[in-house]
Structure 1
Amino acid sequence: MNFHLNNIPVRSVKPREKGITMVMDKGLSIRQVEDFLSINEPHTDIVKLGWATSYVTPNLESKLDVYRHANVPFYFGGTLFESFVVRNQFDDYRKILDHYKMEYAEVSDGSIDIPHDEKCEYIRKLSEQVTVISEVGSKDDEKIIAPYRWIELIEAEMQAGSWKVIAEARESGSVGIYRESGEVRQGLIDEILTRIPYESIIFEAPLKAQQVWFIKLLGANVNLGNIAPAEVIPLETIRLGLRGDTFSHFL
Structure 2
Amino acid sequence: MRTAVSDNWHQLLKDPSGIRGRDRRLQLGKTMVIDKGLGLHSLTDFLQVSSSYVDMLKLAFGTSVLYDSELLRQKLRMASEHGIVTLPGGTLLEAAIKQNVTREFLDTVQHFGFTGIEISDGTIDLNRIRRTSLIKECVRRGFIVTTEYGKKAEGSVIDPEELAFTAHCDWEAGAELVTVEARESGLNVGLFDEKGQCKEAVLESVLKRVEHAGKLMWEAPLKSQQVELLRQFGPTVHLGNIAPGDALALEAMRRGLRSDTFHLGRHVYEIDYMI
TM-score (norm 1): 0.94
8 Å CA contact 1:16, 1:45 repeated in 2: no
State whether structure 2 residue 183 is matched by structure 1 residue 140: no
Task: Choose the corresponding residue for 1:218, options 224, 233, 241.
Answer: 233
1:47-66 map, 5 Å: 47-58=57-68, 59-66=71-78
What SS class does the counterpart of residue 261 from structure 2 fall into? coil
8 Å CA contact 1:15, 1:45 repeated in 2: no
More off after superposition, 139-148 vs 21-30: 139-148
In structure 2, distance between residues paired with 1:31 and 1:85: 33
What SS class does the counterpart of residue 2 from structure 1 fall into? coil
Instruction: Structure 1 unaligned segments of length 5 or more: list them.
Output: none
8 Å CA contact 1:203, 1:224 repeated in 2: yes
1:163-174 map, 5 Å: 163-174=176-187
1:58-207 map, 5 Å: 58=68, 59-129=71-141, 130-174=143-187, 175-194=189-208, 195-207=210-222
Q: Which amino acid aligns with 2:256?
A: G
In structure 1, distance between residues paired with 2:257 and 2:110: 42
In structure 1, distance between residues paired with 2:200 and 2:116: 30
What SS class does the counterpart of residue 75 from structure 1 fall into? strand
Once the two structures are superposed, residues 183-230 of structure 1 have per-residue CA deviations (whole angstroms, 9 ceiling, x without a partner) of 112222222222332321111111011001111111111111111111
Residue 137 of structure 1: CA displacement? Answer: 0.6
Instruction: Structure 2 unaligned segments of length 5 or more: list them.
Output: 1-7, 268-275
TM-score (norm 2): 0.86
What SS class does the counterpart of residue 245 from structure 1 fall into? helix
In structure 2, distance between residues paired with 1:23 and 1:16: 19
What SS class does the counterpart of residue 246 from structure 1 fall into? helix
In structure 2, distance between residues paired with 1:27 and 1:246: 30
More off after superposition, 71-80 vs 190-199: 190-199
| Structure 1 residue aligned with 2:41 | 31
In structure 2, distance between residues paired with 1:39 and 1:17: 20
What SS class does the counterpart of residue 184 from structure 2 fall into? coil
More off after superposition, 85-94 vs 9-18: 9-18
8 Å CA contact 1:136, 1:150 repeated in 2: yes
In structure 2, distance between residues paired with 1:158 and 1:218: 21
More off after superposition, 59-68 vs 10-19: 10-19
| Structure 2 residue aligned with 1:3 | 10
In structure 1, distance between residues paired with 2:49 and 2:192: 30
What SS class does the counterpart of residue 84 from structure 1 fall into? helix
More off after superposition, 189-198 vs 55-64: 189-198
Between the aligned residues of both structures, percent identity stands at 32
Matched positions, count:
251
Q: Which amino acid aligns with 2:82?
A: A
In structure 2, distance between residues paired with 1:123 and 1:243: 38
